[in-house]
Structure 1
C-alpha cells in the first residue's frame, strides 16, 4: 500500500570518526501526530499517541485501568484552562498541539549533546558538519557510495534558513526548525524546494504525473500496477494539479505537502470530541472523558504496570 505519510527528516547521528550515514533529508509531508494507522475499528493507538505523545502513550499502556483513569483525570484538570468544568474543542486542540511540540523538543534534547561539542549551549554549523560528515571530510572517497557532498550542501542550506539571526549558531528553537522544518512557517519554502529537487527528475521546475507516481511506486518488470496507483492518478488530476496544466508548480506542491486547510491537531480534537461527547453539547465533562478513557489513553493490565515509575506530574 501507499505510504500514508512519510516522516520528514530522519536524522542519523554519527560520530566524527565514523562513516557518515545516509539519511532521508527531504520533508515530504507534514509530520502526523503519530506514525501509527488511524483506524478505530482496530484500536485507538493513534489517538493515544496524538493525545499523550509517543512516550507517555507507551507508559499509559502499562497501567491498570484504574491508574489510567486517575492519571487521565489529572490531565483533564490541566486541559480545562478556564476552569469552567468543561473541556472545549479549542482546549483539546491546544493540548494535542502541546504534546506535538513536546515531541519535537524532546527530539532536540535527545540529540543536543551529540552536536554541542563545546557545550556552549548553541550548535554551530561547523559542529554539526564535523559530527555528521567527519569521515567524509577526512576522506572524500566515501562519496563513491552516497553523494555526501550534496547531502552536506542541502543540510547547510537548511541550517542557514533555520538560523534566524544569521550567526551560524543554532539555539534550541533554531535547531528544532532545522530538524523539523515542517513545523515552522519560515521553513516552508525550503521544505518545498527539497521536495521538488527530489521528485522533479527532468529538472524543469515542476512535478508532472509520471514523477508524482514514480516517487511513490516503481513498477517492477512483470508486475501489475497496484489499484491505489490509479487512485493517486485521479488525486493528481482532480486535486493536486489545480490549474490543470498537467504538472504541479511550487504553490501546488506546497498545498500538497503542507496543506493550509488541514490541521492534524484540529482534526484529532474534533474526532475525540465526537466520539466522547455523550450529550452532544460540543464540550466534554470530566466524566465523559473518563468514560472513554480507552479512547484517550488506553490500558493494558500487566504486572509491570504496577511497578511503573510514577512521574512527578502524576
Structure 2
C-alpha cells in the first residue's frame, strides 16, 4: 500500500486560531509541532485543551475514562508538573509540561514509524529503504493514470530527506528522521518548510503568494454559498500584516513569518488560557484542588463500555 500520502499530510500542519471560525477554513500557521489539529473553541468542548495538555495520543485514552479515574490520573500528572515541590503549579511549569507533551508526541511518532522503514535493522533509515517502503508498489508497477503524481511526490520527499540528512550520507538516524517527519520542529528545516508551502500555494509559479492564492489556500467557494465573514478579515490580514512591503504578494521571508511566526508561543498561550480557566482565587498559580475542580478542561471524561480496559497503564 502506498504510504506517501501519510507522510505528505504530516507536513500540511494546521493549528487554527484561538477564535472560532468556520470549519472549511484551514490554516498553515504553526509554531513547531502543533499543540492540536483541532479548533480551539471552549464554548463547544475542551478537545483542543486536552490534546495540548496531554498530547494527542494520551488525550484519546482519557476520553474513555470515568470521572473519578480521570481525576486520579490528573492528580498524578499534577505531582509531576510541580517540579519545585512547593504545592503549586506556576504558569511556567504548566508551559513546560505542555511542551513536554508535544515532544513526547513527536518522539512516539518517530518510534512508531521507525520499525516500518528500518528494514535491515541497522538503526538507520536509508533513502532507499524509505523510498521502497513508501513507493514500493508504484515502483514495481508505475502508472501514469492516477490521482497523484507519485514521481513528483517522491522527488519532493527525497529533497526533504536530503535536507534532514545533516551529514549527507543519505542515512537518517532518529534525529534526522524526526527532522524529515516533523520539519517545522527543526531550525535547519525551515527553508524547506517555506519552499514546500510556496509550491503548494503559488499556483501561477511566479515565486510569490498573492492575495488570491492566499485566500484560495484557506477557502474555496462553490459559487453558491455566501462568502464567510472571516474571508474579508483574512484579506485585511494579508494587506496589513502578511504583505509587509505592500507589493501585493508574499515573498519567502514574509511566508516564513506567516507559517512559522517567531513572536508567538502556542504552549505559552495555552498555559495562560488554562491558568485563566482554573485559577479560582486569581493568585497567578494553581493548586491541585483548583486543577481537579476543572478536570474537564484539562483532561475530559466520559464513560464507555471499554473504558475499564484503558485503566491499566504503567505510569498510572
Q: TM-score, normalised by structure 2?
A: 0.87
Q: Deviations over 1:11-69 (max 9, x none)?
A: xx737xxxx65844754432421222211111112111111112222222222222111
Give the secondary structure class of the aligned counterpart of 1:141.
coil
Aligned-partner SS, 1:283 = coil
Q: CA deviation at 1:156?
A: 0.9
| Aligned residue among 50, 60, 63 for 2:62 | 60
Name the structure 1 match of 2:41. Answer: 39
Q: Per the alignment, do residues 276 and 136 of structure 1 end up closer, same or farther by CA in structure 2, a change over 3 Å counting?
A: same
Aligned to 1:29: 29
Q: Is the 8 A contact 2:243 2:250 kept in 1?
A: yes
Residue ranges of structure 1 left out of the alignment (5+ in a row): 1-12
1:104·1:180 contact (CA, 8 Å) conserved in 2? Answer: yes
1:172 maps to which of 166, 171, 174 = 174
Cα distance in 2 between the residues matched to 1:40 and 1:72: 19
Q: Paired residue for 1:155, among 154, 157, 180?
A: 157
Q: TM-score normalised to the size of structure 1?
A: 0.88
Q: Identify which of 214, 236, 239 aligns with 1:234.
A: 236
When structure 1 is superposed on structure 2, of 212-221 and 230-239 the one drifting more is 212-221
RMSD of aligned residue pairs (Cα, Å)? 2.1
- Is there any run of 5+ residues in structure 2 with no aligned partner, and where? 13-27
1:14 match: 2
- Measured after TM superposition, the shift of residue 114 of structure 1 is 1.4
Deviation of 1:172 after TM superposition, in Å, equals: 1.4
Residue of structure 1 equivalent to 2:25: none
2-side partners of 1:58 and 1:223: how far apart? Answer: 35
Task: Give the 5 Å matches for 1:119-134.
Answer: 119-134=121-136
- Residues 237 and 64 (structure 1), Cα distance of their counterparts in 2 relative to 1, 3 Å cut: same
Which is worse superposed, 89-98 or 292-301? 292-301
Match of 1:214 among 213, 216, 222: 216
2:21 corresponds to: none
- Among residues 284, 287, 305, which one is paired with 2:286 in the alignment? 284
> In the alignment, which residue of structure 1 is the partner of 2:142?
140
User: 1:263: which partner in 2?
Assistant: 265
How many Å separate the matches in 2 of 1:292 and 1:313? 22
Deviation for aligned residue 1:300: 1.2
Give the Cα–Cα distance (whole angstroms) in 1 for the partners of residues 83 and 145 of structure 2. 54
CA contact (8 A) 1:143 1:149 kept: no
Pair 1:311–1:208, CA change in 2 (3 A): same
- C-alpha offsets along residues 129-179 of structure 1, whole Å, 9 cap, x if unaligned? 111122333343336643222211111111111112222111112111111
Q: Which residue number corresponds to residue 18 of structure 2?
A: none
C-alpha distance in structure 1 between counterparts of 2:44 and 2:289, whole Å: 25
